[in-house]
Amino acid sequence: MTHVLDHTRAPAGTADVLRELAGIPAGGAVDTLRDLRPAARENAQLAYRLLLAPDDDGEVSVLDRLAVAVFVAALHRDERAVAHYRRALLAAGGSDALAATLVAEAGSAGALGPVGTYREPGLATESVPAPAYRVVAREVLGERLAAAVEHARLLVLHPRDARPAALERLVAAGWTANGTVTLSQLVAFLAYQLRAAAGLSVLHATPGGPR
């Protein structure tokens, strides 16, 4: 199931999440630069709305979506994003223990990248096997969320290792095809969002650059 951005679903007064994650002031020079690409600015917010605060959860609950977001943010070592998604997780009914577990799991799941094994013979010598990872706190996360976290780590750190077996593990944990597509869309969006926020933050902090 592919989500299509629907401009009628953007709630009035919704905070600019990308600006918050970048730590740039509203109306400042960097924020104003973003107005040169209004569609990119609006679509970043709409994608957040659709994937992390949907009107209809579909087959992936908001709690699971936000749990994955906390993990991905922690995997990127982005403290501002971790704080944002942790607050959202708690507001959605998650617990401090769940948030702390996700951050701890990201700490043990991290690896220097890019890693992964190339399937192309000509690139085989450039392969760097990804360190093995399996969620430790499965009793806290449950099998379904644990499988989602492991899949998110695969997509973030070593997507070249994506194989049918990875999808089979999701199916075994109770993920449907539509749920898996939503999960993959979510992780892809988070990777974009965190990198975009990091770029804006660096631009804001650059001496002599726009403030």
Task: Give residue-wise pLDDT tens across range 12-25.
Answer: 335 799 999 999 99
Q: Per-residue pLDDT tens for 143-156?
A: 999 999 999 999 99
- Calculate what percentage of the chain has a pLDDT beyond 90: 68
Given a cut of 90, whether residue 10 has pLDDT beyond it is no
Among the listed residues 140, 58, 71, 61, the one whose alpha carbon sits nearest the alpha carbon of residue 93: 61
Domain ranges of the chain: 15-113+127-205
3-state secondary structure of 107: helix
Q: Given pLDDT bands bounded at 50, 70 and 90, which one contains residue 159?
A: confident
Query: What pLDDT score does 209 carry?
Result: 58
CA angle 163, 121, 114 (to 5 degrees): 60
- Calculate what percentage of the chain has a pLDDT beyond 70: 91
Q: Rounded mean pLDDT of 44-69? A: 95
Query: What pLDDT score does 123 carry?
Result: 73
Query: What pLDDT score does 201 carry?
Result: 93
Q: Rounded mean pLDDT of 160-183? A: 93
Q: Per-residue pLDDT tens for 93-107?
A: 999 999 999 999 999
- Give yes or no for a cis peptide into 11 (omega within 30° of 0): no
| pTM, to two decimals | 0.87
Query: What pLDDT score does 205 carry?
Result: 84
Q: What is the CATH number of domain 15-113+127-205?
A: 1.20.1290.10
**62-75 helix and 96-109 helix, angle to the nearest 10 degrees:** 40
Given a cut of 50, whether residue 5 has pLDDT beyond it is no
Query: What pLDDT score does 119 carry?
Result: 77
Question: CA-CA distances (angstroms) from residue 108 to 27, 136, 149, 151?
Answer: 39, 9, 12, 15
Sign of CA dihedral 103, 108, 111, 116: negative
Sign of CA dihedral 54, 60, 64, 69: negative
200 within 8 A of 30, measured Cβ to Cβ: yes
Given a cut of 60, whether residue 162 has pLDDT beyond it is yes
Measure the CA–CA gap between 159 and 170, rounded to whole angstroms: 15
Among the listed residues 76, 33, 83, 36, the one whose alpha carbon sits nearest the alpha carbon of residue 200: 33
